[in-house]
């Protein structure tokens, strides 16, 4: 037996072929799965709703929350009375599908926890169609997470029951076959929603990024993350190379951190200039504002830039659920490909424009070329 790079093969196998195929595999491995994403895989139960429905469950028109006792029944209500559609969701999983949309095959891998049920099967179908590799932690005893999405006009109210997604753990991340993907990745994307689930896994990825001078991207995800998960959020902050949020999340961050500022540009600047672990990269803070320009602040730079969004005929908008995730996906694809900051923002806005023309956090198939 001749050991070759930790693999062994018998000399009876044609050695030239074996060595060649082995080195080819290695080449592919170093090029594949350059982007690794982590968060909560969810199935969206999405419907066009009305005021009465929001009121019945005490939901705000535009929000993202964790389900409580009083939200019990929302999912059934949506399915039975509002013609709800089942759509693959989970914010960072939408982002991962989005990044894969723009990148060569086998570029993105996504981690999170699911159950062993019909909902997980729907997620598997969706990611397969998107060409996204997933490494799920499967919990046979707990349901796949669900997110009730109520669309009213251009608003979306999301109410999540995390289920199996809440059981993602460090043990899964450290499994040799998963950890080797972590080590192989060149860019990391973590959805801030995962701060409610497994901060230690987030910190492992953050430290892996910093020690290898690889970009670590974090999405603020929702106002409640800034408000109620401040401690793990702040622990991860020194590792953010890119932090992405929308205007509502920026405001919640400023308020919960006593910044005493309301101007989005100033908040972006404050985020960009927080203390940073890896000093080889300047932090970039990106705040999207719906149809208003995207705000970008770079650590140490005085000028805060604005990038207008790509214009779209309002009649073509289907729903804006997942627009932010799509933006992040296009942007992350730009980072993976080493594009300039301007180009990466452009890629994000391009993908967001495609996504809002679809139902839910989806992208058009057949694929449109960038
Ligand atoms: C922990 N929470 C609340 C969540 C989410 C979430 N993804 C992960 N964790 N709450 C809503 N989402 C997802 O956000 C997408 C739209 O941006 C929904 O599943 C939806 O696809």
Measured from the Cα of 147, ligand 1's closest atom is 19
Bond from prior residue into 270 cis (ω within 30 degrees of 0)? no
Instruction: Give the pLDDT confidence score for residue 235 in this predicted structure.
Output: 98
Q: Which residues, other chains included, contact 113 with Cβ-Cβ below 8 Å and sequence gap of 6+?
A: 40, 41, 136, 137, 138, 139, 145, 164, 165, 166, 167, 168, 169, 172, 197
What whole-number percentage of the chain has pLDDT above 70?
92
Least confident residue range of 126-130, 316-320, 325-329: 316-320
CA distance 229 to 192: 9
Is pLDDT of 330 > 90?
A: yes
For a substitution probing ligand 1, which of 96, 147, 202 has the most ligand atoms within 8 Å of its CB?
Answer: 147
Instruction: Give the pLDDT confidence score for residue 26 in this predicted structure.
Output: 46
Are the C-beta atoms of residues 261 and 231 closer than 8 Å to each other? no
Ligand 1 centre and the CA of 4: distance in Å?
44
Instruction: Give the pLDDT confidence score for residue 2 in this predicted structure.
Output: 34
Residue 88: half-sphere exposure toward Cβ, Cα within 13 Å:
24
More confident residue, 320 or 261: 261
pLDDT digits (tens, 9 = 90+) for 152-188: 988 999 999 999 999 999 999 999 999 999 999 999 9
pLDDT digits (tens, 9 = 90+) for 267-283: 999 999 999 999 999 99
Of the pLDDT bands very low, low, confident and very high (cuts 50, 70, 90), residue 312 is very high
Ligand 1 centre and the CA of 93: distance in Å?
9
Instruction: Give the pLDDT confidence score for residue 122 in this predicted structure.
Output: 97
Instruction: Give the pLDDT confidence score for residue 154 in this predicted structure.
Output: 85
Is pLDDT of 29 > 80?
A: no
CA–CA distances in Å: residue 56 to residues 26, 50, 112, 206:
56, 10, 31, 41
Instruction: Give the pLDDT confidence score for residue 199 in this predicted structure.
Output: 98
Ligand 1 centre and the CA of 18: distance in Å?
45
pLDDT digits (tens, 9 = 90+) for 210-250: 999 999 999 999 999 999 999 999 999 999 999 999 999 99
For a substitution probing ligand 1, which of 159, 160, 229 has the most ligand atoms within 8 Å of its CB?
Answer: 160
Instruction: Give the pLDDT confidence score for residue 225 in this predicted structure.
Output: 98
Strands 242-246 and 216-219: what pairing? parallel
Least confident residue range of 29-43, 100-114, 285-299: 29-43
Ligand 1 centre and the CA of 275: distance in Å?
28
Is pLDDT of 23 > 70?
A: no
Instruction: Give the pLDDT confidence score for residue 10 in this predicted structure.
Output: 33
Average model confidence (pLDDT) across the chain:
92
**Paired tokens of 185:** 């990745």
Torsion angles phi and psi, residue 31, rounded to 5 = -95, -30
**What residues line ligand 1, using a CB cutoff of 6 Å?**
39-40, 42, 44, 64, 66, 89-91, 94, 147, 158, 160, 162, 191, 193, 196, 321-322, 324-325, 361
Of the pLDDT bands very low, low, confident and very high (cuts 50, 70, 90), residue 31 is confident
Active site residue 325: yes
Measured from the Cα of 360, ligand 1's closest atom is 21
For tokens 């992208």, what's the residue?
Answer: 363
CA distance 165 to 197: 8
Instruction: Name the pTM for this structure.
Output: 0.92
Instruction: Give the pLDDT confidence score for residue 36 in this predicted structure.
Output: 99
């Amino acid at each position: 037996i001749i050991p070759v790079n930790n693999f062994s093969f018998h000399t009876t196998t044609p050695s030239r072929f074996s060595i060649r195929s082995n080195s080819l595999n290695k080449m592919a491995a170093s090029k594949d799965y350059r982007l690794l994403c982590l968060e909560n895989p969810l199935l969206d139960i999405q419907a066009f709703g009305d005021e009465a429905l929001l009121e019945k469950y005490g939901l705000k028109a535009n929000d993202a929350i964790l389900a409580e006792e009083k939200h019990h029944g929302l999912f059934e209500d949506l399915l039975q009375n509002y013609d709800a559609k089942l759509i693959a969701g989970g914010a960072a999983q939408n982002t991962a599908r989005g990044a894969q949309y723009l990148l060569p095959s086998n570029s993105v891998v996504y981690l999170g926890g699911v159950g062993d049920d019909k909902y997980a099967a729907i997620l598997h179908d969706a990611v397969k169609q998107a060409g996204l590799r997933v490494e799920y932690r499967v919990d046979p005893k707990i349901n796949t997470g669900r997110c009730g999405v109520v669309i009213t006009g251009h608003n979306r109210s999301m109410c999540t029951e995390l289920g199996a997604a809440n059981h993602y753990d460090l043990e899964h991340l450290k499994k040799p076959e998963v950890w080797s993907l972590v080590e192989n990745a060149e860019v990391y994307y973590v959805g801030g929603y995962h701060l409610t689930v497994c901060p230690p896994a987030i910190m492992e990825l953050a430290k892996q990024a910093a020690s290898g001078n690889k970009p670590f991207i974090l999405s603020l995800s929702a106002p409640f993350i800034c408000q109620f998960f401040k401690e793990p959020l702040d622990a991860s902050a020194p590792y953010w190379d890119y932090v992405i949020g929308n205007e509502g999340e920026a405001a919640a961050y400023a308020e919960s951190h006593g910044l005493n500022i309301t101007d989005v540009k100033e908040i972006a600047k404050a985020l960009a200039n927080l203390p940073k672990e890896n000093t080889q990269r300047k932090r970039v803070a990106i705040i999207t504002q719906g149809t208003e320009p995207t705000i970008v602040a770079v650590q140490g730079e005085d000028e805060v830039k604005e990038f207008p969004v790509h214009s779209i005929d309002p009649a073509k908008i289907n729903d804006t659920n997942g627009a932010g995730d799509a933006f992040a996906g296009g942007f992350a694809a730009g980072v993976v490909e080493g594009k300039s900051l301007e180009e990466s923002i452009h890629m994000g806005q391009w993908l967001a424009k495609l996504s809002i023309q679809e139902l839910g956090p989806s992208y058009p198939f057949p694929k449109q070329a960038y």
